[in-house]
Amino acid sequence: MMSEQGRGVVYLLVGERHAVHLAASLASLREHYAGPVAIITDRYAGYHWGLHVFGHAETGPLQVLPANLDASQGKLLKTLMPGLTPFDSTIYLDADTLVVGSIDELWPREGEWVLTQFSDWLLSRNRMRRRVAEWRDIEPRRVSFLLDDDDPASWPVLNTAVMAWQGDGGWLAREWLATAMKRPQDSRGTATDEMAIQLVLPEIKDRKCRVLDRRFNASCVFDCEGSRAGEPEDVRIIHYHGFKGFKRLSGQKTFLPFYESLLAQDRYGIRAMPIPAKMVSRLPSEAVERFRAYWTWC
């Protein structure tokens, strides 16, 4: 699908579950970026809500592009984005992000990839070493290279919620997809796309690749105010890990005030976008009472 359309930001929306996140993320993006945006969707519910957002768009170029995607592709969906972007230079954002500062540093240069570190996590973290080890039966050479490194703290833990590339992504896009396809479904719930790009990382360090720090992928759980000491300064993008902006106190502090401001204005038709009942039950009762004055979906 890629064509020479300059540079732009891409989102992915499959189904309706994260439509509310998409609207919030897009509204936050427009506070810092006025250029082209594409929403790549499935041909059913995702496309419906993509058109809903398009119909309420008030600023900046926006297009909705239905593709042959469905939820069963799960953790592989993001690995398909380099082949689906309509832009020659792409920034990809997960729907569950808020842009709170300039994204200029994300734009790739001269054929490079730009990846982002999750919080301040390094591969010396035991949880991540266990996740990498689970791939030993499929990628023994790559796993051994990472886990047997004399300095595992030299490897950042990658997160694919925020990334950027030029063209169709070249070698890295192809190798990322090929690696992820070796384990398309993971019963443990491990993020296949993230583990695949983590395994490929050592092979791209000498290629055109930048890894940006947690300012561009700040965790609402590990980096936001009140959740830990030493939160990063000059945060540009906050990542909410699904619905943790609704159900975790650290996420609520930053997400809910912005969400409420969008409800008051009905930005991108957000009042009509449903929230799963179990997430509503996790909201503070006083917030639910205020939000009900706006919600049209319940």
Q: Where are the domains of the chain?
A: 7-292
Instruction: Give CA–CA dist 262/37, Å, rounded.
Output: 19
285 has pLDDT over 70: yes
Q: Is residue 111 scored above 80 in pLDDT?
A: yes
Say what the pLDDT of residue 56 is: 96
When computed from its CA atoms, the radius of gyration of the chain, rounded to whole angstroms, is 19
Res 226 pLDDT > 50: no
Could you give the dihedral angle defined by the CA atoms of residues 162, 167, 170 and 174, in that order, rounded to the nearest 10 degrees?
A: 60
Q: Which of 164, 22, 37 shows the shortest CA–CA distance to 98?
A: 22
Q: Which residues pair with 57 in a beta bridge?
A: none
The tens digit of pLDDT for each residue in 45-78 reads 999 999 999 999 988 999 999 999 988 888 889 9
DSSP string, 126-148: HHHHHHHHTTTTT-HHHHHHHHT
What single string gives the DSSP state of each residue in 207-223?
SSEEEE-GGGSEETTTT
Decide which of 232 and 104 is more confident.
104
Residue 190: predicted pLDDT: 64
Q: Would the pTM count as exceeding 0.85?
A: yes
Architecture label for domain 7-292: Alpha-Beta Complex (3.90)
> Which residues have C-beta within 8 Å of that of residue 155, sequence separation ≥ 6?
122, 123, 146, 149, 201, 202
